[in-house]
Amino acid sequence: MLAIPAIDLREGCVVQLVGGDFDKEKVRLGDPRDIARRWTGYGFQRLHVVDLDAATGRGTNRAIVRDLLADAATPVQVGGGIRTTEEVESLFSDGAERVVVGTRAIDDPDWLREIAEANPGAIVLAADVRDRRVVTHGWTREHPRNILDLIDELSGVPLGGLLVTAVHREGQMAGTDLPLMEDVAEASEWPVLASGGISSMNDLRALQERGLAGAVLGMALYTGALDPRILAEEFST
């Protein structure tokens, strides 16, 4: 299983939010390129970059994303507010290994299939989940379908992966939602990445035992709860 550090961008800084709430920002660091170099230096094999401002319609960190991709010494997957084919193509041109799409992909499955077929194995669907319901538009709208229904409806789409974030655990260091992740991994035909609440090596080992392909980590890394060197060494494939 692969451990993947998150670089969440807000107003030009790297941040960590509690429970997906923009009013509960716990970490704020400057110079995203320095942060990316730090994680790469520890030995992590992939980075996960998200433009939170774009995801919520508050602005854009596109220039910073472009700089991160140009500077990257390891593969990078990029998400946050990506809602057009042109944006997808631009990110691939700028060097993204994978493009992560959420809100529009869930609202418009025909578009998701179109970009996935044009870029087989390189599109990751991000499904933010609160109590098994999918939420979109930066966690502000609850979708009528639950995550297992969504997986069933998208069968056959050539995705590179499915990223499931347990928003109700995000940034709270309360442990992963293991029953959710186990059910998703069993139902999904694509590699599944887990996010939200992961706070210990035991959390990660439990996810690995249940067949998860990777875990995106934020708060536990930024607060020092997990040792990045040990983490990168154990979860590197």
| pTM of the complete model | 0.94
Select 2-234's CATH number: 3.20.20.70, 3.20.20.140, 3.90.1150.10, 3.40.50.300. Answer: 3.20.20.70
The domain segmentation of the chain, as residue ranges, is: 2-234
Residue 31 falls in which region: left (phi positive, over 0), alpha (psi -120 to 50) or beta: left
Long-range Cβ contact pairs of 19-24 (< 8 A, separation 24 or more): 19/167, 19/168, 19/170, 19/171, 19/172, 20/128, 20/130, 20/138, 20/139, 20/167, 20/170, 20/171, 22/52, 22/56, 24/171
Active site residue ranges: 8, 128
* Tens of pLDDT, residue by residue, the chain (237 residues): 999 999 999 999 999 887 666 767 888 999 999 999 999 999 999 999 999 999 888 999 999 999 999 999 999 999 999 999 999 999 999 999 999 999 899 999 999 999 999 999 999 999 999 888 898 766 666 777 899 999 999 999 999 999 999 986 665 566 899 999 999 999 999 999 999 989 999 999 999 999 999 999 999 999 999 999 999 999 998
